[in-house]
Every structure is written in C-alpha cells, then in structure tokens.
Structure 1
Amino acid sequence: MSGDRIPSEASASALWKLDRRSREIFRHIVESYLDTGEPVGSRNLSRILPMALSPASVRNVMADLEHLGLIFAPHTSAGRLPTEGGLRLFVDAMLEVGDLAADERRQIEAQVAGSGGGRTVESVLSEASRMLSGLSRGAGVVLAQKSDARLKHIEFVRLEPMKALVVLVAEDGTVENRLIPLDPGTTPSTLTEASNYLNNSLRGRTLAEARAELEARQEKARAELDQLTAKLVDAGLASWAASGQGGRPETLIVRGQANLLEDVKAAEDLERIRLLFDDIETQQELIHLLGRAEEGDGVRIFIGSENKLFSLSGSSLVVSPYRDSESRVIGVLGVIGPTRLNYARIVPMVDYTARLVGRVLGKA
C-alpha cells in the first residue's frame, strides 16, 4: 500500500461526492481522531482549516458528511468522529504513506536480524512480533507456517496413565509439545520403541515426506512394530500437523497485548478490549483473518466490524505476508491496535518488517 494507491470502487464513488472543502473538513476530522481519539467540533475546525469558513458553514458540511455515513456525533452536543466507513474511505483514498525514518529502519534491523547466524526461525519471528509491538504501541502478531520444517528429534513422555506428551524438534530449532491419548496397555517400552523408530527412520524429512515415507513402508512397518507402537507412530506425526490445513500447520505469536489497554477511556472500552483478548486467546479467528492477508501482495488493513474477530472490539489490524527466497508466502505479520492507529506510520513499518523477515529467514 502506498500514498498513490488506487481507491476501491466504493471509496472512489464516495470520494467524488465530496468537493474540496468537504474533503478538507473530513480529512481534519479523521486526522484529529487518529491523533487524539476525541471528537472535534465546528468551531475548532474553522480555526485550523486552510480556507476561511465560519463555524456555521463548517456545521453545514459536517451535516452532509454525516448524511453520507462518513462521520457521526457520539453525543448530541459533541463534535464529530469518523465512522468505520469513513475510516475505510480515508485509508483507501486519502491516506498519505511515507517511508520509515532511518533510525526506525536501524532499530527494526537490529532487533529482527539480531546477531546474525545461529538464530532460530522461532526467535526471529518472536523478536519481530515484540519489535512491532514496541514501535506501534499495539500488539504485534505473527502467523508462521511450518510446512517445510524438517524433523530432528521426536520423543514420547508419559504424563498420565492414558496421556503422553509428544516433544517434536525441527532442524530449524522449533520445538512443539502436543498431548496425545494413550491406548490401554501402552508401556514405557512402547513409547521408547515408537520414539526410536521415528528418529531412526524419518529424521531429516519434512512432515509431508515423513508421512509419505511411512505410508509407503506401512506394511513393513506394521510387521516391525506391534499394534500399540504403530498407533503411537501415527499419533506422533499427526500431532505435528494437528492445527494446520492440508498439511500446513501454523503457529501464532502475539506480543504486547497489554499495550491495547493504554488507550482505554471508559468501561465500555475495557469490555471491548476484554472481548478482543478472548478472541486472541482462542486464536482460530485471528489465524483465519491473518490467512486472508496471504491472498494479496503488500499491506492489508482490516478495520473494526469489517471482520468477525473485531466486530465487538473496535480494533484494526495492519498486516503483510512475508516470503521465502523463492517468493513463496510462508507467513503473515502485523499489528493489532485501536481503530485510531497511526496508519501512515504503521503501514510502512509492517511492510519493511515483512520484507526484512523474509530476507533473514532466507539466510537461516
């Protein structure tokens, strides 16, 4: 996304309905909201507009903007705030996005690239999420796909008579722990045998390769292993892919949720943030929403009730996919914050971070 982005058909249509002074008044209302979060009135607007207009003339234009659904009055005697539709028009057709300052670029590079070699994929992504949170004062989010993770080690650890922990270690340093049920009669030696079989036979393969190899050798494997061990082998591989679709498991990293509380001004705001925290905790809607960002190039902005996740929380999401050395989308990262995010600053920040993460992971 850039300052010369072509607006959507709906935004272009709405924009053409505004004359020059209507655009200026609308722009100042939105920019004031993004800066302060407070409604702005006709008297204050008349003082800061680049053209000479009386408060009465400003009120007439504001009435027209309200009729178009672009602004609203939170209280009868208050000034005006942009609606979500107004914010969408502003972001699509009027937002001027510049470039990052040199010091911000250096800060992002220092935190994401770190000390260079030896960093795991997970640490790079976690640091990117933490960095985005710190610079934006929102919550930083990263959705990472692990379809190409190669198995290094797998181990089964009994926790309860009928439950075990599967510890999965990838060659990139990623570690996952998953719980699986155990069949009656599973012994410690069964767990050891399953671990040894997977480590000896499938180490160094991706999940897809491991499953294909196991299927190709299934009859032989059944002969080599007893029934309980074979079930554990299947369960161990399945646990790696349990959260993904089509063999593409995903990890969600969220940092800085507490930043979202800094802008809370009223009890209803606190309730909206609580609902957002609940949605983040369940993760599935956020994973689905981030997945939608993979569908196009560049930065995407989701505002308020445009999506199911934020329909009750008054929040926005600015996200961009990041790619590997072969230009394949391998994940998505971005920022969650209030609808009055500083989009002009955060859009280039997210875009630059996504491109930097792609380069760093390409060298990992």
Structure 2
Amino acid sequence: MAISFDPPRFPLASNTTALGMLNERSREIFRHIVESYLTTGEPVGSRHLSKLLPVPLSPASVRNVMQDLEMLGLIYAPHTSAGRLPTELGLRFFVDALLEIGDIGEAERAHIESQVRITSPERTLEDLLGDAMMMLSGLTRGAGLVVTSKENARLKHIEFVRLEPERALAVLVAEEGSVENRIVQIPANLPPSALIEASNYLNERIRGRTLHEVGVEIEASRRAAETELGELTTKLVDAGLASWAECSGHEPQLIVRGHANLLEDLTALEDLERIRLLFADLETKKDVIDLLSRAEGGEGVRIFIGSENKLFSLSGSSTIAAPFHDGQQRIVGVIGVIGPTRLNYARIVPMVDYTSKLLVRLLQAR
C-alpha cells in the first residue's frame, strides 16, 4: 500500500536527528503514550506506563524518559501534575516512523464491497460516492468526504432554446437532477429546426455519459456529424458543449456525510469547541477542496494532521484521503475521512486505500 505524508517527514528540521536517535526504551514508552491517546483521548502517567512495558521499569525511570520526549517536542502535559499526551509533531513522528499498517480482513472487504457496488445501469457516480462516504463514515466513526468535478456528472438531457437572433439558452440536465444553463452565441441565419436537430443529436448520445465522454465521441466522428447535421448545426453542438466545459466542467464540489459521528465520545468542553470549529471549517468548502486536491498529486493515501494544514489548525483535526481515477486514468476525485487527531490511523488508512481502489475498479467496469 502506498502512503505519502504531508508535509514530508518531521516538519521541525532541528529535531530530525534527535528523533532518529531515540533508543528502544524511549520508542516503546512513546508508542504506549500515543496508542493510549488514540484509544482513550486521555493523558497517561508514568505509574500506569510502568505497568504496561514488557520490561519492568520504575515510574521514576519512566518519568525521566518522558522528560526527554517532552524536550524533543513529542509529548506534553496538558495540565500540571497530569499525564502526557502526544503533540502534533509526536503524532507525525508516530505515523511516519512507528505506525504499523496492515491490511483489512476479508470480512471488512466483503462489507465494503456490499455497500459500494453497481446494482443497476442507472447507478450514477454520485450514487457510488454517496455509498462510499456513508460506508467509511460508519466504519470509522468520522465524517466521510469526497471532492469530485462536475465534469464527472452523468448527463440526462440537453436542450437549446433561442432567446435572440444570435443567442440561445443551452440547458444541461444531469442524472442526479442538477441543471446548468449557459448562453451561447449562434449564427444569425440558423433556422429554428437546427436547434431541435442539435438537441436530438446530443440526447441520442449523452444519457448516462459524462461531458468529456460525449465531447470525445463527437470529435472522433466530426465528419459524420457535419454530414448528418450540417455545418451550422454542428457549430451549435460544439458551442453548447464548449460553454459547459469552460464554465463548470472542472469546478470541484465537496460532499460530506456523517457529521453526527463527530459528536460522539465528547469528553470535555474543549472537545465540543473543537468540533464546533471543525464544522465551521467544513463550511469553508473552497479551503477543504484545496486541501483534498493536494491528495491528487500522487498514488496512495495522504495523511494530514492538525495544524500542518492551516485550515484545521484550530480544530485539531486529521484527514486521511486517497485519489481515484476512471478507465482513462483521469483523476476523478479524492475520497477520505476527517475526524479528531486521535483517529485510528492503522485501521482507517487501509480502509480508505481499499475503498479508493474499489471505486477505480467500478468506474473502469462502467
């Protein structure tokens, strides 16, 4: 499984050497602190840690190691005399260097495939993505999210309506119900029948296909189109397709499912405030889209932790995301999970990875 990290290893360069020099005992204590945090969200103290270690170690010795880890910026004490929690730098170090990511089991694979599938030819990309987000949200107890382009919407109907001698309204209806209207320039001498011919010609070819797919087919059969429609009507078809592609073809859209999961297991007022800030961040759709679009840059899963990304610096949230593509190897979108920084990374990373690969297989089979 390919996993890429953002930013690259260890954002504080001055700590890089020291982090690599941690001995086995320090790594073991640090691992237990992080794993305890990921499980409970609570600080862990030296006395409790001394009981968990495979090699007996006194609480005083554990405290000495914890002080070293704290000096490196890997852990901190949220309150005086409290136990320790990992910092965001500590979480990044854990994810980069210590996290053991396996594969999901056959039962979970079967569950994912049963929830994300093509049950009929009428199933749209939006249907598949909705199923995938709800499935990931349910399995991870985070919020499932996806960024995709309107270019990928499956089309249902096109119609041209003359407004003025040299202008027409081009109406595009997608299968999921969205409607796009564009004003296109038309030749002044274009007969009314040409508008009907252009609409009929496109409607015979677009149903269940994307704007890109329709454009490729028409361009490939350019001579046949001009013979069937005539030069002026063909120009109208081109103008309609070009206007949609230019104005909305690459405009990304964000879909989020499972907000309610983020309200579970809140243990303090600070948690409630963090979730409030996260909800506010998710309302800033452009920033979320920009963040997830960074996951398109390479294969495999990307992991974003807390203030490494300015967007989630206040809410202290993490995102695990992976791109998916169609049969032509074009990036269709990015799917992932967002939640608190104590997400179960070892479990969620392979889930997101498998779901993105399943979407690729389903899109290629369409």
Normalising by the residue count of structure 1, what TM-score does the alignment of the two structures yield?
Answer: 0.79
| 1:21-77 Cα shifts (integer Å, max 9, x gaps) | 100000000000001000000000001011121111111110110100000000011
Say which of 43, 53, 68 aligns to 1:39.
Answer: 43
1:97 paired to 2:101 = yes
Distance 1:261 1:242, change over 3 A: farther
| 1:236-273 Cα shifts (integer Å, max 9, x gaps) | 97567645xxx423232211011111132222322221
> Per the alignment, in what secondary structure is the counterpart of residue 10 of structure 1?
coil
Say which of 87, 92, 102 aligns to 1:88.
Answer: 92
Distance 1:134 1:108, change over 3 A: same
Q: Is the 8 A contact 1:14 1:89 kept in 2?
A: no
* 1:333 paired residue number: 335
Please give the residue correspondences for 1:176-187 in structure 2 after superposition, counting only pairs within 5 Å.
176-177=178-179
* 2:173 paired residue number: 169
Please give the residue correspondences for 1:139-158 in structure 2 after superposition, counting only pairs within 5 Å.
139-147=143-151, 149=153, 151-154=155-158
Compare 105-114 and 262-271 and name the one that shifted more: 262-271
Give the aligned residue type for 1:119: R
Distance 1:131 1:207, change over 3 A: same
1:112 paired to 2:116 = yes
Say which of 32, 56, 62 aligns to 1:28.
Answer: 32
> Per the alignment, in what secondary structure is the counterpart of residue 340 of structure 1?
coil
Distance in 2 (CA, whole Å) between partners of 1:57 and 1:266 is: 31
Q: Is the 8 A contact 2:2 2:301 kept in 1?
A: no
| 1:283-318 Cα shifts (integer Å, max 9, x gaps) | 111111111000011011000111122111111000
Distance 1:39 1:155, change over 3 A: farther
Distance 1:266 1:97, change over 3 A: same
| 1:314-356 Cα shifts (integer Å, max 9, x gaps) | 1100001112223332111010111000000000000000000
Structure 1 residue 121, shift from structure 2 partner: 1.2
Gaps of 5+ in 2: 162-168, 184-191, 220-225
Structure 1 residue 130, shift from structure 2 partner: 0.6
Structure 1 residue 221, shift from structure 2 partner: 6.8
Q: Is the 8 A contact 1:97 1:347 kept in 2?
A: yes
* 1:160 paired residue number: none
Give the aligned residue type for 1:297: E
* 1:10 paired residue number: 10
Give the aligned residue type for 1:262: E
Distance 1:148 1:35, change over 3 A: closer
Q: Is the 8 A contact 2:143 2:337 kept in 1?
A: yes
* 1:59 paired residue number: 63
Say which of 322, 325, 332 aligns to 2:324.
Answer: 322
Give the aligned residue type for 2:129: L
Q: Is the 8 A contact 1:167 1:176 kept in 2?
A: no
Please give the residue correspondences for 1:245-324 in structure 2 after superposition, counting only pairs within 5 Å.
247-324=249-326
| 1:75-101 Cα shifts (integer Å, max 9, x gaps) | 011100000000000001110011112
Distance in 2 (CA, whole Å) between partners of 1:176 and 1:3 is: 35
Structure 1 residue 279, shift from structure 2 partner: 2.1
Distance 1:149 1:138, change over 3 A: closer
Q: Is the 8 A contact 2:160 2:198 kept in 1?
A: no
Give the aligned residue type for 2:86: P
Q: Is the 8 A contact 2:173 2:180 kept in 1?
A: no
Distance in 2 (CA, whole Å) between partners of 1:345 and 1:143 is: 22
Distance 1:250 1:4, change over 3 A: closer
Structure 1 residue 103, shift from structure 2 partner: 1.1
Normalising by the residue count of structure 2, what TM-score does the alignment of the two structures yield?
Answer: 0.78
Compare 10-19 and 129-138 and name the one that shifted more: 10-19
Give the aligned residue type for 1:107: H
Structure 1 residue 4, shift from structure 2 partner: 12
Q: Is the 8 A contact 1:154 1:167 kept in 2?
A: yes
Compare 141-150 and 284-293 and name the one that shifted more: 141-150
Distance 1:122 1:2, change over 3 A: closer
Q: Is the 8 A contact 2:300 2:323 kept in 1?
A: yes
> Per the alignment, in what secondary structure is the counterpart of residue 61 of structure 2?
helix
Q: Is the 8 A contact 1:272 1:312 kept in 2?
A: yes
Structure 1 residue 278, shift from structure 2 partner: 2.0
* 1:72 paired residue number: 76
Distance in 1 (CA, whole Å) between partners of 2:274 and 2:3 is: 31
Distance 1:16 1:156, change over 3 A: same
Give the aligned residue type for 1:94: L
Q: Percent same amino acid at aligned positions?
A: 60
> Per the alignment, in what secondary structure is the counterpart of residue 263 of structure 1?
coil
Q: Is the 8 A contact 2:147 2:292 kept in 1?
A: yes
Compare 14-23 and 283-292 and name the one that shifted more: 14-23
Distance in 1 (CA, whole Å) between partners of 2:193 and 2:264 is: 52
Q: Is the 8 A contact 1:143 1:287 kept in 2?
A: yes
